[in-house]
Amino acid sequence: MKILQLTYKPKENFIYRSNGVVKIFILLNLFMQSFIFNHPFYLGIIFFNILILVRFSNCWKEILIYFRFMLIISLFTFFINIILYPEGTTIIFQISNDLQLIGGFKITFETLISSLIIILRLTLIFLIFGTFNLIINPDELIQVLVKLKIPHSIVFIITLSLNFFPLILKDLEKIREIQQCKGLELEKGNFFTKFKNNVKLILPLLTNSLERSIQNAEALEARAFDIKGKREFYRTIRIRFSDYFIIIFMIFYLIFQIYLAFQGFGEYIIYPTLPKIFLASLEYYVLFFSLFSNFLIIGLLYLGDKIKK
Amino acid sequence: MIEICNLNFSYFGKNSGAIKDINLNISKGEFVLLTGLSGSGKSTLIRVLNGLIPNFYGGRISGSVKVQDMNVFEEKPRILAQKIGMVFQNPENQLFMNNVESELIFGLENIKLSRSKIEKRLNDTIELLGLESMRKRSINSLSGGEKQKVAIGAILAMQPEIFILDEPTSELDPKSAEEILQVVQHLNKKLGITVILIEHRIDRVIEFVDRLIIMKDGQIIQDNKPKQIFHEENNSNKYFIPPIIKLFLEIIKQKNILLKYKISPNDIPINIEECSLILKEFFADLTFNESNIKCLQQNNEKYMQKFLDSTPLIEFTNVNFEYEKNNIILSNINFKAYPGEFIAIIGDNGAGKTTFLKLFNGLLRPKNGSIKIKGKNLKNLSVAQISRDVGYLFQNPSIQFYQDTVREELEVVLRNFKIHSENAKELLEEYSDRLDLKSLLSIYPRYLSYGEQQRAALASMLVIQPKILIMDEPTHGMDSLQKDHFFNYLDEYRKNGNIVILVTHDIESLTKYPERILFFSEGKIILDDFSENVLSHPITSQFTPQINRLIKNFPNLPNKIIKTEELLELIENAEI
> Contact A73/A125 with Cβ under 8 angstroms?
no
**Strand positions, DSSP E, chain A:** 91-95, 105-108
> Contact B554/B266 with Cβ under 8 angstroms?
no
CA separation for the pair B427, B432 (Å, rounded): 8
The domain defined by B2-237 folds into Rossmann fold (3.40.50)
* Residue A2, pLDDT above cutoff 80: no
Pick B119's closest partner by Cβ from A178, A227, A234: A234
CA separation for the pair A63, A71 (Å, rounded): 12
Nearest to B248, CA basis, from B218, B219, B269, B262: B269
CA separation for the pair B319, B314 (Å, rounded): 13
- A19 and A113 co-located in one domain: yes
> Contact B48/B72 with Cβ under 8 angstroms?
yes
Nearest chain A CA: its distance from B91 CA (Å): 10
CA separation for the pair A219, A231 (Å, rounded): 20
Give the model confidence (pLDDT) of B297-311 as tens digits: 556 566 667 777 788
Return the pLDDT at B299.
60
What mean pLDDT is predicted for residues B494-504? Answer: 92
**Strand positions, DSSP E, B323-467:** 328-337, 342-347, 368-373, 376-377, 390-393
Would you give the end-to-end CA distance of chain A in angstroms? Answer: 35
CA separation for the pair B368, A31 (Å, rounded): 45
Beta bridge partners of B502: B344, B471
Most trustworthy range by pLDDT among A279-283, B124-128, B506-510: B124-128
Pick A232's closest partner by Cβ from B107, B115, B461: B115
Nearest to B153, CA basis, from B168, B172, B174: B168
Nearest chain B CA: its distance from A150 CA (Å): 16
* Contacts across the A-B interface (CB distance below 8 Å): 169
Nearest to B92, CA basis, from B156, B143, B44: B143
C-beta atoms of A184 and B416 within 8 A: yes
C-beta atoms of B385 and A188 within 8 A: yes
pLDDT bin (cut points 50, 70, 90) of residue B136 is confident
Most trustworthy range by pLDDT among A170-179, B264-273, B556-565: A170-179
Give chain B's mean pLDDT.
86
What mean pLDDT is predicted for residues B154-166? Answer: 92
Beta bridge partners of A306: none
Beta bridge partners of A94: A106
Domain boundaries, chain B: 2-237, 286-389+467-490+502-544, 394-465
C-beta atoms of A178 and B400 within 8 A: yes
Tabulate helix, strand, coil % of chain B (nearest 5).
45, 20, 35
Give the model confidence (pLDDT) of B50-105 as tens digits: 888 888 888 899 999 998 888 888 888 888 888 899 998 888 889 988 889 999 99
Give the model confidence (pLDDT) of B436-445 as tens digits: 888 889 989 8
CA separation for the pair B395, B398 (Å, rounded): 9
* Residue B521, pLDDT above cutoff 70: yes
3-state secondary structure of B326: coil
Return the pLDDT at B239.
72
Pick B112's closest partner by Cβ from A8, A223, A231: A231
- A211 and A293 co-located in one domain: no
Chain B residues whose beta carbon lies within 8 Å of the beta carbon of residue A1: 323
Chain B residues whose beta carbon lies within 8 Å of the beta carbon of residue A211: 398, 446
Give the model confidence (pLDDT) of B532-555 as tens digits: 888 888 888 888 888 888 888 888
* Residue B432, pLDDT above cutoff 90: no
Chain B residues whose beta carbon lies within 8 Å of the beta carbon of residue A136: none
CA separation for the pair A238, A236 (Å, rounded): 6
Is residue B531 exposed (0-12), middle (13-18) or buried (19+ Cβ within 10 Å)?
Answer: buried
What mean pLDDT is predicted for residues B196-225? Answer: 89
CA separation for the pair B53, B25 (Å, rounded): 19
Last residue of a domain, one of A239, A264, A279: A239
Nearest chain A CA: its distance from B106 CA (Å): 8
CA separation for the pair A294, A296 (Å, rounded): 5
Is residue A97 exposed (0-12), middle (13-18) or buried (19+ Cβ within 10 Å)?
Answer: exposed
* Residue B221, pLDDT above cutoff 80: yes
What is the C-alpha R_g of chain A?
24
The torsion angles phi and psi of A225, rounded to 5 degrees, stand at -75, 140
Return the pLDDT at B243.
86
C-beta atoms of B82 and A224 within 8 A: yes
> Contact B159/B191 with Cβ under 8 angstroms?
no
Give the chain A residue whose CA is nearest to the CA of B361: A181
CA separation for the pair B340, B494 (Å, rounded): 5
Estimate the crossing angle of helix B564-573 against helix B290-305, to 10 degrees: 140
Give the model confidence (pLDDT) of A96-127 as tens digits: 666 556 666 788 888 899 999 999 999 999 89
C-beta atoms of B140 and A7 within 8 A: yes
CA separation for the pair B164, B247 (Å, rounded): 31
Give the model confidence (pLDDT) of A20-71 as tens digits: 889 999 999 999 999 999 899 999 999 999 999 999 999 888 888 888 888 8
3-state secondary structure of A85: coil
Give the chain B residue whose CA is nearest to the CA of A203: B402
3-state secondary structure of A3: helix
* Residue B295, pLDDT above cutoff 60: no
What mean pLDDT is predicted for residues B311-327? Answer: 88
User: Which residue type sits at B31?
Assistant: F
Return the pLDDT at B234.
60
* Residue B293, pLDDT above cutoff 70: no
Give the chain B residue whose CA is nearest to the CA of A173: B363
C-beta atoms of A207 and B402 within 8 A: yes
pLDDT bin (cut points 50, 70, 90) of residue B366 is very high
pLDDT bin (cut points 50, 70, 90) of residue B34 is very high
Last residue of a domain, one of A207, A239, A271: A239
Nearest chain A CA: its distance from B541 CA (Å): 32
- A166 and A305 co-located in one domain: no
C-beta atoms of A208 and B106 within 8 A: no
Return the pLDDT at B530.
85
What mean pLDDT is predicted for residues B371-391? Answer: 91
Q: Give A199's contacts (C-beta < 8 A, 6+ positions apart).
A: none
Q: Determine the residue among B110, B358, B387 to mutate to test chain A binding: the one whose Cβ has the most chain A Cβ atoms within 10 Å.
A: B110
Would you give the end-to-end CA distance of chain B in angstroms? Answer: 51
∠ at Cα B100 (B95, B104), nearest 5°?
A: 75
What is the C-alpha R_g of chain B?
25
Return the pLDDT at A29.
92
What mean pLDDT is predicted for residues B480-493? Answer: 88
Q: Determine the residue among A162, A223, A235, A237 to mutate to test chain B binding: the one whose Cβ has the most chain B Cβ atoms within 10 Å.
A: A223
CA separation for the pair B251, B568 (Å, rounded): 8
Give the chain A residue whose CA is nearest to the CA of B462: A182
Nearest to B188, CA basis, from B224, B164, B168: B164
User: Which residue type sits at A104?
Assistant: G
Return the pLDDT at B208.
87
- A219 and A279 co-located in one domain: no
Give the chain A residue whose CA is nearest to the CA of B100: A139
Q: DSSP string spanning B427-481?
A: HHHHHHHHTT-GGGTTS-GGGS-HHHHHHHHHHHHHTT--SEEEEESTTTT--HH
C-beta atoms of A232 and B113 within 8 A: yes
Count CA atoms closer than 13 A to A163's CA, side-chain side: 25
Return the pLDDT at A100.
59
Give the chain A residue whose CA is nearest to the CA of B157: A223
Beta bridge partners of B320: B368
**ipTM, 2 dp:** 0.85
Per the structure, the complete domain to which residue A161 belongs is given by 138-225+232-239
pLDDT bin (cut points 50, 70, 90) of residue B470 is very high
CA separation for the pair B157, B85 (Å, rounded): 10
Give the chain B residue whose CA is nearest to the CA of A221: B78
> Contact B461/B386 with Cβ under 8 angstroms?
no
CA separation for the pair B131, B119 (Å, rounded): 15
Chain A residues whose beta carbon lies within 8 Å of the beta carbon of residue B383: 177, 180-181, 186-187
Chain A residues whose beta carbon lies within 8 Å of the beta carbon of residue B81: 221-224
Q: Where are the alpha helices (DSSP H) in B136-252?
A: 144-156, 174-191, 226-231, 243-251
What mean pLDDT is predicted for residues B150-175? Answer: 88
C-beta atoms of B81 and A178 within 8 A: no
C-beta atoms of B96 and A216 within 8 A: yes
Instruction: Provide the domain count of chain A.
Output: 2
* Residue B397, pLDDT above cutoff 70: yes
Element (H, E) at A177: helix A152-181
Return the pLDDT at B576.
67
Chain B residues whose beta carbon lies within 8 Å of the beta carbon of residue A156: 96
CA A120 to chain centre: 13
pLDDT bin (cut points 50, 70, 90) of residue B120 is very high
- A158 and A183 co-located in one domain: yes
* Residue B121, pLDDT above cutoff 90: yes
> Contact B408/B440 with Cβ under 8 angstroms?
no
Give the model confidence (pLDDT) of B402-416 as tens digits: 888 999 999 999 999
Give the chain A residue whose CA is nearest to the CA of B159: A223
Give the chain A residue whose CA is nearest to the CA of B139: A163
HEC per residue, B40-86: CCHHHHHHHHCCHHHHCCCEEEEEEEEECCEEHHHCCHHHHCCCEEE
Nearest to B38, CA basis, from B174, B199, B169: B199
Q: Which CATH class is domain B286-389+467-490+502-544?
A: alpha beta
Return the pLDDT at B174.
80
- A267 and A181 co-located in one domain: no
